[in-house]
Amino acid sequence: MKKSIFLGFACLSLVIALIACAPATTLIPTKTPTSIPFTSTPTPTPTPTPKPATHTPPPATATPTPQPIAVVTADALNLRAGPGTVYDKKGLLHKGEKLNITARTATGDWIRVLTDGTEGWISATYVELLIPLDSIPVAVEIPPTPTAIVLKPTSTPTSLPATLKTTPTTGAPNVQIECIFYDGLVYRVESDEYVQITNFGNAPQNLAGWKLVDISEGYPSFTFPSYILEPGASVRVYTNEYHPEWGGFSFGFGKAVWNNKHPDVAALYNAQGQEVSRKSYPPGCR
């Protein structure tokens, strides 16, 4: 028992001696790393590329279809290329036809209409307007007036060769005064008045020696030279203008012939002096 205690004491003393002799160990403090705060980097949001603005035109507004605003009151009404009887005919309108008006003259005596795709001018006297005249726009452009040459009172139309003869035919001519344009457009003298003579027959007629007279006054009178009037053709005798496209005939009178307020009567006589036609007005030529 005593032996065991001794051995234990000896071992403990040896351990203490070893510890005392061992070199002292210096501990190096461990450097604490500085913590870097975590910063969250946001993912960049892609910027959308702007698209060029597209101009969307407003929906087209349909052009309103003109409404019929005039009705023909004459039995027959000429559609002309311009506002006046000196312009060529483009068609013939009939009583009751409804027209679309597009413009008028400044004086309102002629109106421009559209009918069946054809545009032309008609006299306002022979239509019934369904809207006020002042509401119709004045035409900006008007066709130029056909050239007319004013004759001196002493001028005489050139006669055709006397050898020109009527072609033989089995039909018969029927020459009549068709109408009188009595209200001329030329200021005061109304030199553009005319009497229109038409061959309604089916054979030509030589007008040589025929005479046209204002029988209300007894003057003026016009005697035709040799001139062949074909079936369906017309000639005009103007107050004091020369229009070769209508035969080139004129009274050569220096003032208005056909009285507007008190209608005159025109008479046509053949070469034998027989009256074949007479005509007054209104209505006049349209």
pLDDT digits (tens, 9 = 90+) for 67-115: 668 898 877 788 888 988 778 878 888 888 999 999 999 888 889 998 8
Whole-angstrom distance, CA of residue 41 vs CA of residue 82: 84
- Per-residue pLDDT, averaged over 236-259, amounts to 93
Whole-angstrom distance, CA of residue 258 vs CA of residue 246: 19
| Segments in the chain forming alpha helices (H) | 2-21
What are the residues whose beta carbons fall under 8 Å from the beta carbon of 162, sequence distance 6 or more?
Answer: 226
The predicted-structure confidence for 160-205, as pLDDT tens digits, reads as follows 444 434 444 457 899 999 999 999 888 888 999 999 999 999 999 9
Q: How many CB atoms lie within 10 A of CB 173?
A: 19
Give the number of residues written for the chain. 286
0.85 exceeded by the pTM?
no
User: Are 161 and 226 within 8 A, CB to CB?
Assistant: yes
What is the rounded end-to-end Cα distance, in angstroms, of the chain?
A: 168
